[in-house]
Structure 1
Amino acid sequence: MFGHPVGLWYLAFAEAWERFSYYGMQTLLVLYMVSQLLQPGHVENVAGFAQFRAVVEGVYGPLSTQGLASAIFGIYTGLVYLTPVLGGLIADRWLGRTRTILLGGTLMTIGHFLMAFDASFFWALLCLAIGTGCFKGNIAVQVGSLYAPEDNARADAFQIFYLGISAGVIASPLVCGTLGEVYGWHYGFTAAGIGMAAGVGIYLAGARFLPVDPPIVRRTQETRVRLSRADWRILALLLAMLPVLALALLGNQQIFNAYMVWAQSSFDFSLLGRTMPTSWLITFDAAASVAMLALSVLFWRLWSRRFPEPDEITKLVVGAVLTVLAFLVLATGAAQADEGARISLWWAVAFHVINSIGFAHLVPVALALYVRMAPKAIGATIVGVFYLHLFVANNLVGWAGTRLEAMSADRFWLAHAVVAGVSALILFGLQWPIKRAMAKTAAEPWRPDV
């Protein structure tokens, strides 16, 4: 189809439904916990809640309902970025990619439907976290396996694949968010479960068009490699950048957490005589992210015709600075509100557009930098390590979100701008050591030592 293997389209549509289910559930999660699950009459029914709260408050201190919801969100989304390591091990060592993907899709489907019951809330989150880890990384590997190593169509294939992701992210708040907020929370979670079941069905339907799993090799002696001094310097810099990237992305990841709770009570959602669901902000954010990513690529292509295009580390500084500007806009909007008054949605529009431009210069650019800098001997491992910054960021999101009620809204968002500003300064200072390390790596050949 259009010059690509048929299997690509099955994988793209399966991933679109998986992202539909994942982001549909995540959009509702904090609003659901604050509005219903953690309220009297429901929270007593959650299995293991008392023990879980005792552990969490032992770390965070006493928490309000909103603070506890924020902490749960941070722990859950943090686990989502750890479990792909487990999913990779399961696929490589035991089940193979196809069966691991099916296991992940099945667990996610079960998790979404378990959200319909108060008692099974934590089991639902566990199924979703493990299921996402089994599904997410392995299906992307299968996309690459459809093409020969020298086939340049692979890049186009991943663009098509990510279009499926974007479609799922944009549609899920409109469907799951609207059903959950307007008709009942469990309708939204059920829609997410149906979407995940559809994804599994599409994957099974296209199984005959997918690449055969490579044989599982049980190694008795692991291959060891010797890194040069330049490689070790590169590795140290890449590891040092992880917490800096986490700080830069703290505000962006907060959009699904404290931002949703604050937005629900702060923005005027009147639109054409009707009240717009809060979750539609996520759809706008996803659409803005896709548009700003495309426009950013176009901008730098046009820029390069007359001026040298900046390297990745410089673009990361630009992204962090734009994130600072976005949260300054949000803090200014929050300061405009009188006690009990609601502020215009144009503040949200300005925030999401500027933040999306910043995001376009952060995660995609950082991934490109890690791929470029990673020592050849451990390149795949470094790419896996890269995603740990999102684990750190989401745990910080959970902690920071617990401060929403203790601070005025303008100071809360100003604090996010300050954190992004700190990351911008550190990234600016890292430009020279990174450039020097890369120059020395280029001069030293890589020699494996088996």
Structure 2
Amino acid sequence: MSATSAVSTPQRGFFGHPRGLSTLFFTELWERFSYYGMKAILAYYLYRSVDEGALGLDKSFALSLVAIYGASVYMSGVAGGWLADRVLGGQRAVFHGGVLIMLGHVALALPIGVTGVYTGLVLIVLGTGLLKPNISTVVGGLYDRQDPRRDSGFTIFYMGINLGGFLAPLVCGFLGETYDWHLGFGAAAVGMALGLVVYRLGRRGLGDSAAVPPFPLPAAERGRVLGRILAAVVGSVAVVALLVVLGVLGAEGVINLISLLSVLLPIGYFTVMIRSPRTTKVERSRVIAYIPLFVAAAMFWLLFEQSATVIAAFADTRVDTAFLGLSFPPSFIQSINPVMIIAVAPLFALLWVKLGRRQPATPRKFGYALLLVGLSFLLMMVASQGDPSVRVSFLWLVLMYLVMTCGELLLSPVGLSVTTKLAPRAFASQTMGLWFLATAAGSGVGAIVVRFYSDENAVAYFGVLGAVAIGLGVALVAATKSIHRLMQGVD
């Protein structure tokens, strides 16, 4: 029995799925509660005025910082995947990552200004890198690769993500915007703590799924290899810090550097996996097939991840946040997408099970996802027309998120599943980290792109990005048969 892919069991203790899915469902729910709760108020805390208890930073810079933070979170998944594959195993990586995330939110909850922001964000980046790719690998290990419940299981798992994402803006956003920003960040810390408790209590139900590293470093080499990695990381951080202190590299320069790395890192990683002698001929073909899926995912997340940046800013200044006589904080807008997921995800899960082998091939699903996310931005383009000083109905955002969410359900849970199936055995957890690099690349490019947004040029901004996504979606649908052949039997 493999440590990373346990034989699928006949357990039906959680919606017809293995009982371990319940533990992972609720762990991820609370981890995402902490992540999206913090992210719902982060941009506002950065750019709103000091009189409002915020930091009063330049708005364009604040949006770019939030975007590059998102890129850094997902880039760290590669390192987290490697540590799981070679040192910790997936289950231990998830727990240690959760501890770091909790400490990061605690730092943000302390009233120490920019110092707390940077300290907290660094800890959350490191912790998420350990937790995020590996918890998905543990989910995959609950099923055999040919188990028909697999895509359905990932979709249910994805509902846990979005249930946490729904609650987070309502709790953290309300506390942060209404009472105190640091109280909102503190609620995020409590959420991660609850996730850790759930994980420890239910860990036995996970069995041996990703319990040990599949390719552990030999004991004699572990200290030397880890020492070199630590020295390289510390050295790189020291060089960047020195350049910042000397004024050679400013804050925007650091953002640009991380944006560049978010694009170069997946290119380098694909090269390593394709050329590795541990990758078989069939696995190599599957990795090549994965490249256009990765590009499509990066484009999708470039648009989707603007929920916490451009869409949040649009909600703050262009949207009437009142309905039926009730007014609500702009951060509540970020609960719309999770609500849509919770409502629509079961329908998609049932659809895939009902269609079985007749469902669209994965590349076609990705192409449709791009068409929908592009359409959602075209809806934003329409909503942006007119006088920027006149606020529009928040129902525009409801419609936009409905279309975007349907695209998300065609790409994100399916992407998690196909990644575990296309991954070379020697790079199991690391390939899951590569999947999250698609979000990193999208967010990294987005950190540059969001600088071009303003209330005055919103029509052009949303229109251009929407058109690019639709064009790429059409190209992917047209190339589906060629990509599917390279997948070598993987649906």
SS at match of 2:330: coil
SS at match of 1:405: coil
- Is the 2:173–2:332 contact (alpha carbons within 8 Å) kept by the matching residues of 1? yes
Deviation string, structure 1 residues 173-225 (Cα, Å, up to 9, x no partner):
1111111111121111011011112222333344555546437843489x943
* 2:212 equivalent in structure 1: 214
2:25 corresponds to 1:3? no
2:254 corresponds to 1:261? no
- Is the 2:152–2:353 contact (alpha carbons within 8 Å) kept by the matching residues of 1? no
Give matches, 1:45-124, under 5 Å. Answer: 65-115=58-108, 116=110, 117-118=112-113, 119-124=115-120
Per-residue deviation, 1:315: 2.4
Select which of 197, 202, 205 maps to 2:198: 202
SS at match of 1:214: coil
Corresponding letter in the other structure for 1:19 = R
Select which of 156, 161, 168 maps to 2:164: 168
Deviation string, structure 1 residues 383-426 (Cα, Å, up to 9, x no partner):
44232211101112211111112851111111221221232243
2:15 corresponds to 1:15? no
Judged with a 3 Å threshold, the aligned counterparts in structure 2 of structure 1 residues 175 and 65 are, in CA distance, closer, same or farther, namely same
Per-residue deviation, 1:442: 5.2
2:401 corresponds to 1:352? yes
Q: Which whole-Å CA distance do the structure 1 matches of 2:117 and 2:159 have between them? A: 31
Q: Which whole-Å CA distance do the structure 1 matches of 2:364 and 2:134 have between them? A: 32
- Is the 1:248–1:423 contact (alpha carbons within 8 Å) kept by the matching residues of 2? no
Q: Which whole-Å CA distance do the structure 1 matches of 2:438 and 2:362 have between them? A: 17
Greater shift, 252-261 or 267-276, is seen at 267-276
Corresponding letter in the other structure for 2:74 = Y
* 1:187 equivalent in structure 2: 183
Give matches, 1:379-418, under 5 Å. Answer: 381-405=430-454, 408-418=457-467
Q: Which whole-Å CA distance do the structure 2 matches of 1:150 and 1:40 have between them? A: 53
Judged with a 3 Å threshold, the aligned counterparts in structure 2 of structure 1 residues 312 and 24 are, in CA distance, closer, same or farther, namely same
- Is the 1:312–1:365 contact (alpha carbons within 8 Å) kept by the matching residues of 2? yes
Q: Which whole-Å CA distance do the structure 2 matches of 1:86 and 1:329 have between them? A: 38
SS at match of 2:376: helix
- Is the 1:234–1:434 contact (alpha carbons within 8 Å) kept by the matching residues of 2? no
Identity %: 29
- Is the 2:81–2:429 contact (alpha carbons within 8 Å) kept by the matching residues of 1? no
Give matches, 1:29-44, under 5 Å. Answer: 29-36=42-49, 42=55
Q: Which whole-Å CA distance do the structure 2 matches of 1:93 and 1:442 have between them? A: 28
- Is the 1:244–1:426 contact (alpha carbons within 8 Å) kept by the matching residues of 2? no
Corresponding letter in the other structure for 1:15 = E
Give matches, 1:223-242, under 5 Å. Answer: 224-225=277-278, 227-228=280-281, 232-242=284-294
Greater shift, 152-161 or 21-30, is seen at 152-161
- Is the 1:145–1:211 contact (alpha carbons within 8 Å) kept by the matching residues of 2? no
Greater shift, 191-200 or 362-371, is seen at 362-371
SS at match of 1:33: helix
TM-score normalized by the length of structure 2:
0.74
- Is the 1:370–1:382 contact (alpha carbons within 8 Å) kept by the matching residues of 2? yes
SS at match of 2:212: coil
- Is the 2:53–2:180 contact (alpha carbons within 8 Å) kept by the matching residues of 1? no
Greater shift, 157-166 or 32-41, is seen at 32-41
Runs of 5+ unmatched residues, structure 2: 1-10, 222-275
Greater shift, 88-97 or 147-156, is seen at 147-156
- Is the 1:250–1:396 contact (alpha carbons within 8 Å) kept by the matching residues of 2? yes
* Aligned residue-pair number: 417
Judged with a 3 Å threshold, the aligned counterparts in structure 2 of structure 1 residues 26 and 234 are, in CA distance, closer, same or farther, namely same
Q: Which whole-Å CA distance do the structure 1 matches of 2:33 and 2:66 have between them? A: 18
- Is the 2:77–2:130 contact (alpha carbons within 8 Å) kept by the matching residues of 1? yes
Deviation string, structure 1 residues 301-322 (Cα, Å, up to 9, x no partner):
77x59x9643222222222222
Judged with a 3 Å threshold, the aligned counterparts in structure 2 of structure 1 residues 356 and 207 are, in CA distance, closer, same or farther, namely closer
Judged with a 3 Å threshold, the aligned counterparts in structure 2 of structure 1 residues 245 and 207 are, in CA distance, closer, same or farther, namely closer
Q: Which whole-Å CA distance do the structure 1 matches of 2:139 and 2:72 have between them? A: 24
Judged with a 3 Å threshold, the aligned counterparts in structure 2 of structure 1 residues 41 and 269 are, in CA distance, closer, same or farther, namely closer
Q: Which whole-Å CA distance do the structure 2 matches of 1:299 and 1:206 have between them? A: 30
- Is the 1:18–1:168 contact (alpha carbons within 8 Å) kept by the matching residues of 2? yes
* 1:55 equivalent in structure 2: none
Judged with a 3 Å threshold, the aligned counterparts in structure 2 of structure 1 residues 217 and 435 are, in CA distance, closer, same or farther, namely closer
Q: CA RMSD in A?
A: 3.6
Q: Which whole-Å CA distance do the structure 2 matches of 1:113 and 1:237 have between them? A: 42
- Is the 2:375–2:470 contact (alpha carbons within 8 Å) kept by the matching residues of 1? no
Judged with a 3 Å threshold, the aligned counterparts in structure 2 of structure 1 residues 287 and 227 are, in CA distance, closer, same or farther, namely same
Select which of 318, 321, 324 maps to 2:368: 318
* 1:334 equivalent in structure 2: 384
Q: Which whole-Å CA distance do the structure 1 matches of 2:42 and 2:91 have between them? A: 29
SS at match of 1:362: helix
Greater shift, 112-121 or 122-131, is seen at 112-121
2:21 corresponds to 1:28? no
- Is the 2:303–2:465 contact (alpha carbons within 8 Å) kept by the matching residues of 1? yes
Q: Which whole-Å CA distance do the structure 2 matches of 1:429 and 1:155 have between them? A: 24
* 2:258 equivalent in structure 1: none
Corresponding letter in the other structure for 1:430 = A
Judged with a 3 Å threshold, the aligned counterparts in structure 2 of structure 1 residues 365 and 415 are, in CA distance, closer, same or farther, namely same
TM-score normalized by the length of structure 1:
0.80
Q: Which whole-Å CA distance do the structure 2 matches of 1:247 and 1:150 have between them? A: 29
Judged with a 3 Å threshold, the aligned counterparts in structure 2 of structure 1 residues 68 and 203 are, in CA distance, closer, same or farther, namely same
Q: Which whole-Å CA distance do the structure 1 matches of 2:174 and 2:202 have between them? A: 31
Judged with a 3 Å threshold, the aligned counterparts in structure 2 of structure 1 residues 288 and 268 are, in CA distance, closer, same or farther, namely same
Deviation string, structure 1 residues 33-67 (Cα, Å, up to 9, x no partner):
11147999947xxxxxxxxxxxxxxxxxxxx8122
Runs of 5+ unmatched residues, structure 1: 44-63, 444-450
Corresponding letter in the other structure for 1:34 = Y
2:189 corresponds to 1:137? no
